[in-house]
Amino acid sequence: MRWKKLWGDLMIELVPTIDRENFIVNIQAAFKKAVVEEFGDDGEEVIPREDVEKSFAAAGAQIFDIVSDGVIVGGAVVVIRPSKRNELALFFVNVDCHSKGIGAAAWQAIEKLFPDTEIWETVTPYFEKRNLHFYINKCGFHAVEFYNPHHKDPNEPEDDFPGGNYFFRFEKFMAR
């Protein structure tokens, strides 16, 4: 399934991912940028391959490259459930493509591709200010939960994530 979205002069396509290795390399680079800016570079993998592959393997997962002018500029993994409570499991825009409207156009394309969704949900680390701005101010999500050592994410095992296990959970209720 492909979807095109025109955003100003920007054409975005969601194309089913064929090269999963490229997806993994690109998401690791995109996630690493924020961690390095916040905590410095300790040489560790920010989002382990196993975590990305786990998202790929989730029941209902669909994996997309975000393409603009024939070039892969990001990616997304969405999990589509019969309950219509769907998850944006992974989402990124390549580092050299930030602040060009690609993320917003891609998110709109995802919403259009799955019009039966009643609720979208996602999580992001507390320190990732770009993501907080993007999800709340650009996409219309609302922070509904804050995971921390005193209120742990019931769906995730203990991880040694940079900055600790502090994440916001977001929801977006779709108009019917």
Mean pLDDT value across residues 37-66: 86
Domain boundaries, the chain: 3-173
pLDDT: which is higher, 165 or 21: 21
**1: pLDDT strictly greater than 70:** no
Give percent above pLDDT 90 in the chain.
Answer: 57
Classify 132 as helix, strand or coil: helix
Computed over every residue of the chain, the mean pLDDT equals: 86
Residue burial 133-160, b: 16+ Cβ < 10 Å; e: rest: ebbeeebebeeeeebeeeeeeeeeeeee
Q: Which of 25, 9, 40, 146 is nearest to 75 (CA)?
A: 25
Closest CA to 67 of 26, 38, 31, 39: 26
| Residue 76 confidence (pLDDT) | 98
Read off the pLDDT of each residue in 82-92 and give the average, rounded to a whole number: 96
* CATH of the domain spanning 3-173: 3.40.630.30
CA separation (Å) from 37 to 30, 101, 165? 12, 22, 18
pLDDT, residue 17, reads 97
**In this predicted structure, what is the pLDDT of residue 161?**
57
pLDDT band at 162; cut points 50, 70, 90: low
- The per-residue pLDDT for 138 is 94
pLDDT digits (tens, 9 = 90+) for 94-128: 988 777 889 999 999 999 999 999 999 999 888 88
pLDDT at 126: 83
What does the pLDDT read at residue 156? Answer: 66
Q: What average pLDDT score do residues 124-137 get?
A: 89
Range 68-91 average pLDDT: 96
